[in-house]
């Protein structure tokens, strides 16, 4: 057995405790947040970008409805959503991840939580969100979008609003999914109905509040998984 193999055997059991600690700490904090909406999007969009400005407005509208705003806690779109929530005196949650570049916690989170592991962070996004808004973004945003979409499609979590914000960004992908995935029966005939495309913060808010009025507020802090 090599030294590296021996090191992994010794270290891996201890990693379990670090993973457990992330779940315990984050669950304890998030269980007190209340109804929340997660906003995903690029860390690279500057404050002058129209999507950044729209996301600030979305954060304000959500906070005024007493909905907490959850983001990845970083710059760009994440900062915009947290900024809007903070300005409106709402709960502004940042689930920050340790990365070698780009990701630095923004100053607009009033409930910051730090993660080392992506997977424990993702569980918190899904467990404590009553709706999801996907702003334009890169690989990370697309990863979160398809992961949440898959969880809803496979009924591992209950159906919630999955909102794609920005026709000019998302319409090409939606067109491809319909022409290739749906036409070849690689997804179900109604799977694309799981997402809705909007272009204004007001549209997004109406979809979310309509859904919550229909299903009622979450009965528990966070959801389980099927």
pLDDT in tens, 137-156: 999 999 999 999 999 999 99
SS3 assignment, position 156 = coil
Contact 135, 212 (CB under 8 A): no
At residue 200 the predicted structure's pLDDT band, cuts being 50, 70 and 90, is very high
With bands split at pLDDT 50, 70 and 90, how would you rate the model's confidence at 22?
Answer: very high
∠ at Cα 168 (143, 80), nearest 5°?
60
Tally of structural domains, the chain: 1
DSSP state letter for 157: S
Q: Is residue 224 part of a domain?
A: no
- The predicted pLDDT at position 1 comes to 47
Q: In this structure, is residue 220 part of a structural domain? A: no
The arithmetic mean of pLDDT across residues 80-88, rounded, is 98
User: Does the structure show a pLDDT above 80 at 5?
Assistant: no
Q: Helix (H) and strand (E) counts for the chain?
A: 7, 7
Tell me if 225 is assigned to some domain.
no
Q: Is residue 222 part of a domain?
A: no
**pTM of the predicted model as reported, rounded to 2 decimal places:** 0.90
pLDDT tops 80 at residue 224:
no
Tell me if 99 is assigned to some domain: yes
Span 53-79, pLDDT tens digits: 999 999 999 999 999 999 999 999 999
Is residue 108 in a domain? yes
Q: Per the domain annotation, does 226 fall within a domain?
A: no
7: confidence class by pLDDT, cuts 50, 70, 90: low
Q: Does the pLDDT at position 217 exceed 70?
A: no
Q: Does any domain span residue 223?
A: no
Token pair 């509040």 in the structure block, residue: 209
Which residues constitute the domain of residue 166?
A: 3-215
CATH code (residue 155): 3.40.50.450
């Amino acid at each position: 057995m090599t030294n590296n193999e021996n090191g992994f055997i010794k270290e891996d059991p201890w990693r379990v405790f670090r993973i457990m600690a992330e779940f315990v700490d984050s669950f304890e904090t998030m269980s007190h947040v209340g109804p929340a909406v997660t906003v995903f999007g690029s860390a690279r969009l500057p404050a002058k970008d129209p999507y950044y400005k729209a996301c600030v407005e979305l954060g304000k509208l959500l906070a005024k409805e007493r909905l907490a705003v959850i983001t990845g806690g970083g710059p760009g779109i994440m900062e915009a959503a947290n900024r809007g929530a903070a300005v409106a005196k709402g709960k502004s949650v940042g689930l920050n991840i340790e990365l070698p570049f780009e990701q630095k916690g923004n100053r607009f989170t009033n409930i910051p939580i730090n993660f080392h592991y992506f997977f424990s962070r993702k569980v918190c996004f899904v467990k404590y969100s009553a709706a999801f808004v996907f702003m334009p973004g890169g690989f990370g945003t697309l990863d979160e979008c398809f992961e949440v979409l898959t969880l809803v499609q496979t009924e591992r979590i209950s159906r919630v609003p999955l909102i794609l914000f920005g026709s000019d960004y998302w319409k090409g992908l939606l067109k491809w999914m319909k022409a290739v995935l749906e036409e070849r029966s690689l997804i179900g005939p109604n799977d694309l109905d799981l997402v809705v495309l909007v272009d204004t913060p007001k549209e997004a808010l109406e979809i979310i509040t309509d859904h919550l009025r229909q299903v009622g507020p979450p009965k528990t802090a966070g959801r389980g998984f099927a």
